[in-house]
Amino acid sequence: MSAGLTQSYLARSVFGPWRSRGSSTRVLLFTLESALGAVSVVLLAALAHWSSWLLPVAALLYLLVVVPTALLCGFWQAVIVSFAAVVAQSLFSARQPELALAANPASSITLAVFVLVALTVSRLSSRVTEHAREVESRGGQVESLYEFTRRTLQMNLYMEPGQQLAELVHDIFDLEAVALFDADLHKVYQAGYWNVDPQEMAQNVYYFETTDDEPEIGIGRRVVRLGAVPIGSLVVRGDTSPLTNNAIASLIAITFDRYRAFANESRIETERRTEQLRATVLDSLAHAYKTPLTAIRAASTGLTEMGRLSPGQSELVSLIDEQTSVLADLTTRLLTTARLDAGDVAIHVERVNAGTLVEEVVSSLKERLASMKVAIEIADEDLVLKCDRQLIVMLLTQYIDNACKYANFGTTITIRVLNAGAEAIFSVHSFGPVIPMADRERIFDRYYRSSGYANRAPGTGIGLSVAKRAAQIHGGYVWVTSDEQEGTTFFAAIPLTAGKETS
């Protein structure tokens, strides 16, 4: 153990219990320490006078009292003891002329020098002792910070970290009380005993961004920040330094960030596995439906060709055939979606005229568009794409079918094709329910249906996701705009050259 730490330990072990008490007790202790030192030097002065010791010898004895007083008691006690030594030596020397201060100036200087040395040593020792205490305190807090860091790295991130962190800070740093506010979850976690409401206090620190320390009452307040963004707050009551409070707040911010990153990663992985399982199940079901649907369609066609059906029977057979077509189309979409997500679709690139492509899709949907007004606007009749015809047909079919479902009766569906440099921009415009801003990104996600569309017409939430994936396979992208005055327009930007042309 170093000399400074030894002195610090000795001073605490002798006088520490008394110094930790009230102010009146400290005044009494100061008086007793000063009086004890003064009595000691008076007795030494009397011994020096009775033994007829020379002044340098007496000064050395005074020094043996002053220095321990400075080490164990303090600087001002040492000053009082030094002054008592000078006065006592002067009084006893006056009764012994041959040793009088006035009769021996050199001895007077010697006494003054020894007293000055005593005061200097006492001051230095006091500083060393205080420094040793600070080093010891900092060393203990550094060890606590290391332990806190180690424990936070071992935390169970499957659980919310707030309560775990509050208890760790309380136990490791031996604090009276801890309050921790998580702004993301809007929860306050506490450990220890608070004589005031810690929830309001911790929230106020966050909302007013209060960062301060009050050593007189042992309160430290910190805003927990991740970079420059406040994400919570910390309030502690106990014996900690401002630097330690800063370090604790930083470690808490890092732990919050780790927890959120871990939770987000777990959520994404869970969603990925769920989506993969769902795609696998739907693919299997779609394949299983193909065979019975083909048999039902063949049977309905056979009944129609046999003839001799009553009008009622013919109507039922037509209904069976119609609904079988709907199921077959839905099954095809499911199979295509599964293949698109799995990356199993090979692009068969060929040269396709954009205007011809649009007319082909409109012609295939003539029954659906029979009761609608349709306008086709082709900016460049000679615009040619290198693309997979089947996938682009599927994209445009979905856009136009979607417009048929949700367009207001009597309004016009407008289909446009523009040449935008290296891209062809396909768009389908209609007037119908406005798509909320929050839904415009998610509406292309599989199975998602906009809140403005869900009750307007039946649907599965699959078609737009197929359209998005078809555009992405070509290196393109999709988006939608929607406004009550301007209407709703679905866009698809397709590169003019998506790949090598197949023979």
DSSP for 277-316 reads: HHHHHHHHHHHHHHHHHHHHHHHHHHHHHH----HHHHHH
315-342 residue pLDDT tens: 888 888 878 877 777 777 666 666 666 5
Nearest-5° Cα angle at 20, 17 to 23: 125
47-61 residue pLDDT tens: 776 776 666 667 667
194-205 b/e (C-beta count within 10 Å ≥ 16 → b): beeebeebbbeb
Check residue 325 and give its pLDDT: 78
Q: What is the mean pLDDT of each run of 10 residues along the chain (503 residues)?
A: 41 42 72 83 77 66 75 74 74 58 50 65 70 63 84 84 92 92 91 89 90 89 91 91 90 90 76 67 66 79 78 83 77 66 69 92 84 89 89 90 86 92 92 84 72 52 79 91 91 82 49
Whether the CB-CB separation of 314 and 304 falls below 8 Å is answered with yes
Query: Considering only CA atoms, which of 149, 124, 112 is closest in space to residue 70?
Result: 124
Check residue 20 and give its pLDDT: 43
Check residue 14 and give its pLDDT: 40
Check residue 342 and give its pLDDT: 56
Check residue 364 and give its pLDDT: 84
Check residue 377 and give its pLDDT: 93
Give the span between the Cα atoms of 34 and 73, in whole angstroms: 9
Check residue 222 and give its pLDDT: 94
At 171, the amino acid letter reads D
Query: Considering only CA atoms, which of 385, 387, 286 is closest in space to residue 341?
Result: 286
184-236 residue pLDDT tens: 888 999 999 998 888 889 999 999 988 999 888 889 999 999 888 899 999 99
Q: Is 235 helix (H, G, I), strand (E, B) or coil?
A: strand
Whether the CB-CB separation of 403 and 361 falls below 8 Å is answered with no
Q: Is 411 helix (H, G, I), strand (E, B) or coil?
A: coil
